[in-house]
Amino acid sequence: MWDSTMFLSTLTPKFYVALTGTSSLISGLILIFEWWYFRKYGTSFIEQVSLNHISPWISGVDNSENGNGSSNSSTSNGSQGNVPECKVWRNPLNLFRGAEYQRFYWATNKEPLTYYDMNLSAQDHQTFFTCEADAGRSEYEIMQTAWRERNPILRIKAAHSALENNTECASAYILLAEEEATTIVESEKILKQALKIAELNYKKSQVVQHQGVLMEAQHRRDTNVLIYIKRRLAMCARKLGKMKDAVKMFRDLTKEVPPIMNVLNVHENLIESLLQMQAYADVQAVLAKYDDISLPKSAAICYTAALLKARQVADKFSPDVATKRGLNSAEMAAVEAIHRAVEFNPHVPKYLLEMKPLILPPEHILKRGDSEAIAYSFFHLAHWKAVEGALNLLHCTWEGTFRMLPYPLERGHLFYPYPTCTECADRELLPAFHEVSVYPKKELPFFIIFTAGLCSFTALLALLTHQYPEPMGVVARAVLNSISLPVYFVYDKIECLLPSNILLQLSRI
């Protein structure tokens, strides 16, 4: 029999130092490689080799075709293009400053809008409601200054001053309806007065629009003013419960084609109003027109599509039953629609499931960002609650999306890669008292954590062995002796049961 005691007694402390140092170095190299592979491909190398190569070999299943298919899919999706820059959009469902934002300030003494957000609105108003033809016209020059004014009291005072110079200054009425009116009823009254003036100005400029560049710019400005007033009147009707009037006005606006329509996204107002009426067939018709691959997506488009799919199965959906029998085709379509929506904007579910408190939406949003999630959830939470079981289905499925998404963020699956700049832009758009939601990070794979622990443990052993060679040698011999005891015990039992000549032949082999 091999004498392990004599072998262990011949080992010097230098051997233990070399052994633990080499083990630490090897585990450190494995950790560095695992971390590099995870950062580049989003998965553990050891885990991937185990699942794709070792497991099929042990089970006898050839998984090469599936592996190639997924690789090609990720390659094609990963090459969808460069990550687009963060573009700020006007919130289609933005509130009225005086009637809604100001009332919030009175109740909480917290500013609901940031200066950055309001400054973007001022730039929009200058672009839409002013033009080169306004030079020399005192009322419009006053309004140019009013849009840039930071103090709301001075803005309102400037609008009244413009109306004193010219009672047909429609943009002054817009400012008063947005900021001076403290109720939606007052805002609607002022906007109706502005609408008459805007229609008159539009007809006048339409006649002379081809008489020069200035006249064309003036007509474009009058068109912008008219469309903006109609949209805000439709929003007033929506807030006052006059749903049929609101839907009709929004439908009429969607038929308009001026450039301002590309900014307003009126179809999202129409979708929200139709959902309030529970006219789901009409919502589906609108989605069929706007949920096109060539058009820019939004949370309203993606999550409304998911809501309509969930509506067909949510009332009878049970996670326990679905786990046992699997998902049918309708349930699979609903789950895939939720996964698509969550990939587009991962911040929405926490607001819909009321895991995070809502605040008043900003006047501008960042698509796929926290600001868009707030703007969508603020109005659409009620529509999800109106569909029985929809929130339960969302709760059961949305977290699973992150296990399916390509990682890191520089890769995309159904959409272009998630922009890394959204967090900074959202912090500018959202008030300081709100905790900005960030993109959920994937957890580190087990093998990276295991390798890091192994590397740290072996490095600690190497350090202790180098500093205290004699005591560590004693500990190492004790550990090796304790490990070898079960082996010796089994060997002795086998030696007692089997003839000695068989063991002798086995030892020779």
Confidence (pLDDT) at 237:
95
CA atoms in the 13 A half-sphere facing the CB of 400: 10
Of 508 and 235, the one with more pLDDT: 235
Confidence (pLDDT) at 11:
60
Q: Do residues 192 and 234 lie in contact, with contact meaning Cβ atoms separated by under 8 Å?
A: no
CA atoms in the 13 A half-sphere facing the CB of 221: 23
- Is residue 83 very low, low, confident or very high in pLDDT (cuts 50, 70, 90)? very low
Closest by Cα among 15, 17, 2, 3 to 461 = 17
In DSSP terms, 90 is beta-bridged to 364
Q: Do residues 126 and 148 lie in contact, with contact meaning Cβ atoms separated by under 8 Å?
A: yes
Count the Cβ atoms, other than its own, within 10 Å of residue 207.
Answer: 10
Task: Go through the chain and tell me how many residues it has.
Answer: 509
Of 335 and 36, the one with more pLDDT: 335
Q: pLDDT at residue 241 above 70?
A: yes
CA distance 410 to 82: 9
Q: Do residues 302 and 376 lie in contact, with contact meaning Cβ atoms separated by under 8 Å?
A: no
Confidence (pLDDT) at 133:
83
Closest by Cα among 287, 290, 337, 280 to 309 = 337
User: Looking at residues 489-498, what average pLDDT do you find?
Assistant: 71
> For tokens 């994937």, what's the residue?
442
Question: Where are the alpha helices (H) located in 94-212, listed in sequence order?
Answer: 102-108, 115-129, 138-148, 152-165, 170-175, 184-207
Confidence (pLDDT) at 1:
46
Of 236 and 256, the one with more pLDDT: 236
Contacts of 98 (CB under 8 A, 6+ apart): 178, 179, 180, 181, 182, 187
For 87-100, the pLDDT digits (tens) are 889 999 999 999 99
For 454-488, the pLDDT digits (tens) are 777 777 777 777 777 778 777 777 777 777 778 77
User: Looking at 3-7, 48-52, 137-141, 146-150, which range is the least confident one?
Assistant: 3-7
Confidence (pLDDT) at 492:
74
Confidence (pLDDT) at 441:
66
The C-alpha torsion from 247 through 249 and 252 to 254, rounded to 10°, is -70
User: Looking at residues 146-153, what average pLDDT do you find?
Assistant: 89
For 261-311, the pLDDT digits (tens) are 888 889 999 999 999 999 999 999 999 888 776 667 899 999 999 999 999
- Is residue 82 very low, low, confident or very high in pLDDT (cuts 50, 70, 90)? very low
- Mean pLDDT for all residues in the chain: 81
Burial of residue 103 (number of CB atoms within 10 Å: 0-12, 13-18, 19+):
middle
For 188-226, the pLDDT digits (tens) are 999 999 999 999 999 988 888 888 888 898 899 999 999
Confidence (pLDDT) at 84:
45
Of 141 and 77, the one with more pLDDT: 141
For 387-417, the pLDDT digits (tens) are 998 998 898 888 777 666 655 454 556 777 7
Confidence (pLDDT) at 210:
82
